[in-house]
Amino acid sequence: MDRSAARRLLLGLALFAPAACGGAAPQAPAPQVATRTAAGACEGTTENACRAACEGGNAACCERLGDLVLRDRDRGPSRALAAAEALGKACSGGHARGCQKLSRLMLHGFPGALAADPTQAVTLARRACDGGDPAGCGDLGRMFLHGVGADLDDQRGAPLLANACDAGDGTSCDVLGIALLFGLAVTPDPERAQALFVKAAKVSEKGCAAEDPRACLALGKALALGRGVRRDQVRAAAIFQRACVAGLADGCEWLSGAYAYGLGVPRDGTRARTLAAQSCEEGSPYGCATLGSLLGEGVGGAKDPVEGASAARRGCEAEPSACVHLGAAYEKGAGVPKDKQKAAALFRRACAAGDVTSCTALGLVMVRGDSVAQDKRGGFALVATACDARLPDACAVLGKLLSKGTTAAPDPARALALFLESCEAGAVIGCGQAAIAYAEGKGTARDDARAADLYHRACEGRQEDACLELGMFRAEGRGGPRDEAASTELLRKACDGENELGCKLLAAKPADRVTLRAKSRVKVDECNALIEVINTGIEDLNKVPGPDPDADPTGARELRRMADVMDHVAQKAAGVRLTVPELVQFGADYRGMALAVVKAARAMAKAADAKDVAAIHAAQADLDKAVKQEDPLVDAINRFCQDP
């Protein structure tokens, strides 16, 4: 018998063993027992006392024994088997919460000891719910709503979550709130969602006061995000610590995030990585995903994108809502081949399972049209909803979209407000964007001192671009005294973070850095202006209706529309002010290509109207030749613009 089969057999014996003495039972169908939330009480406070009471038939003590064993980390992975045995006895003895806790343990398993069994987890959650345990009903509802361990069934999932929430399970309130906010398998209802977030915080506060680790974890999340309650990251970190010590692997993962970003505790990358590894080793898919991110970014130790992608994959394979970090790895090509289509699919999968960070990433993909059909309004709405869910990074991204005027006129003042809000909530990307606004006077009066402070916060949060900008502030004496040594150290940080421009400026003589940076700014501005014209032209071209055999049997109308769009692109490209010699040439080449397409498309349309087959073939050849120039030309522009 292989080890996994042995573990499964042991679990079966634990679940269906007689309540007294813990003796081995023959393998037989599960006895039909009536489960209930409070199957007796347990006076025991030590493991030995609880074990003795459990063996004497006290199901409540079996549940407590499972908790005590699971938090005893000195035992290593084997403690999961002992905990499963104790919880199995609690469940068989009629203790519904024992069934719920065993369900959670079985859902993702415990590496090195207990194989994951989502199907059995569903069975156990149903048993807990039938016994009157709200958390069991909530777990079962989430499984149905997200299709975890069971077929997706929103008709059963949402009511189960609602009932569990009404019965006092804060986690269920939050899960249902997210589903209602994003319209995940339910009709969107933002107002009810926000009310549920408030309720989640309130009931979790009560549950945590009663020493329920699950409720404490839910409360910590609410406090960390400011979702349904006033944000308090110091208290949130303390609660995550309690949940982690109590044996909740997900609590250790949230505590890891607090240390990684200095939220409520001093920033400590080493501690963050240790906690994420511990969480992953204890069966949390989110711990594995977070560990993957920390390894990929080199937080708390050496950068290892390959091992990071491997850890992220383990998390994603175990839980769809933990796929965001693997998606990010594919998007960047970090430790895995770059594959934007796969990244988008992973973001979509995780978003559908209720992960707000993934919804933000998917929204950006939709706005950009990377590997999916471009949908600026849909992507913007997704990011805005993620911000409504109190995700700080989402609010920073929303600010960027507003500052660019993604779906309406740019709104730099509102964008700045979002940047500052996200920065205060711990999103260093918001700090960096707010710094840019103050440095350039966008949405506010220019304030170099405020910009320098915000750049410092972003740089401390591993935003290499912010380190570069602050380094140049120190070189120029902006926002503070000129300090050549500080400038060099900050540029070194940027370079160590693989910022190529930072490396180039670091290698230059200090006296030449300001001039070199100014030239780089000109290049970036002109690159952005030219690329914006090209991208807008592509968007407009994609809006040209496809062939219509009835209204446009020859395709001449479609060809003329395409020609009109490309003619407009050529005119816009000619209007871009370019001074960098390479970009001047690129601009001329792109205009030439666009005009060649215009000429060939119009000639082909004219030939089609005249039904001149020879002229059609000649124009088609000219059109193909012109169109084939576009991809190499765009690639060359991108290469030049990406090179600092």
Q: Would you list the DSSP string of 85-130?
A: HHHHHHHHTTBHHHHHHHHHHHHH-BTTTB---HHHHHHHHHHHHH
pLDDT, position 5: 28
In the chain, the percentage of residues whose pLDDT exceeds 70 is: 93
Nearest to 95 by CA among 28, 21, 158, 39: 39
Q: What are the DSSP E strand ranges found in 15-174? A: none
> From CA 314, how far away is CA 595, in angstroms rounded?
51
Mean of all residue pLDDT scores within the chain: 90
> From CA 141, how far away is CA 123, in angstroms rounded?
12
Q: In the chain, what is the straight-line distance between the N-terminal and C-terminal CA atoms, in Å?
A: 60
Which whole-number Å values give the CA distances from 95 to 91, 135, 311, 568, in the listed order?
5, 13, 35, 72
pLDDT, position 547: 67
8, 63 Cβ separation under 8 angstroms: no
> From CA 236, how far away is CA 215, in angstroms rounded?
12
Predicted confidence (pLDDT) at residue 140 exceeds the cutoff of 50: yes
- Residue that the structure tokens 């090195």 belong to: 112
Write out the two tokens for 239. Answer: 């609660």
Predicted confidence (pLDDT) at residue 102 exceeds the cutoff of 60: yes
pLDDT, position 501: 93
Write out the two tokens for 64. Answer: 């407590």
User: What is residue 20's three-state secondary structure?
Assistant: strand
Q: What is the pLDDT of residues 251-296, one digit of tens each?
A: 999 999 999 999 999 999 999 999 999 999 999 999 999 999 999 9
Residue 114 is given by DSSP the state B
Predicted confidence (pLDDT) at residue 98 exceeds the cutoff of 90: yes
Predicted confidence (pLDDT) at residue 204 exceeds the cutoff of 90: yes
> From CA 112, how far away is CA 205, in angstroms rounded?
34
> From CA 301, how far away is CA 464, in angstroms rounded?
17
For residue 69, the tally of other CB atoms under 10 A from its CB is 23
Residue 14 is given by DSSP the state H
614, 578 Cβ separation under 8 angstroms: no
Dihedral pair phi/psi, residue 114, rounded to 5°? -135, 120
Give, in degrees to the nearest 5, the angle at Cα 237 between 231 and 240: 115
Q: What is the pLDDT of residues 448-491, one digit of tens each?
A: 999 999 999 999 998 999 999 999 999 999 999 999 999 999 99
Categorize the per-residue pLDDT at 147 as very low, low, confident or very high, splitting at 50, 70 and 90. Answer: confident
> From CA 461, how far away is CA 495, in angstroms rounded?
15
pLDDT, position 374: 87
Query: What predicted TM-score, i.e. pTM, was given to this entire model?
Result: 0.84
> From CA 17, how far away is CA 54, in angstroms rounded?
12
Q: Lowest mean pLDDT: which of 11-15, 526-530, 622-626?
A: 11-15
Which whole-number Å values give the CA distances from 70 to 47, 57, 59, 633, in the listed order?
11, 20, 17, 60
> From CA 400, how far away is CA 45, in angstroms rounded?
53
Dihedral, 237, 243, 246, 252 alpha carbons, nearest 10: -80
Predicted confidence (pLDDT) at residue 23 exceeds the cutoff of 60: no
Write out the two tokens for 476. Answer: 């120029």
Categorize the per-residue pLDDT at 495 as very low, low, confident or very high, splitting at 50, 70 and 90. Answer: very high
pLDDT, position 384: 97
Residue 388 host element (H or E): helix 376-388
Residue 60 host element (H or E): helix 59-70
Mean pLDDT of the 166-191 span = 95
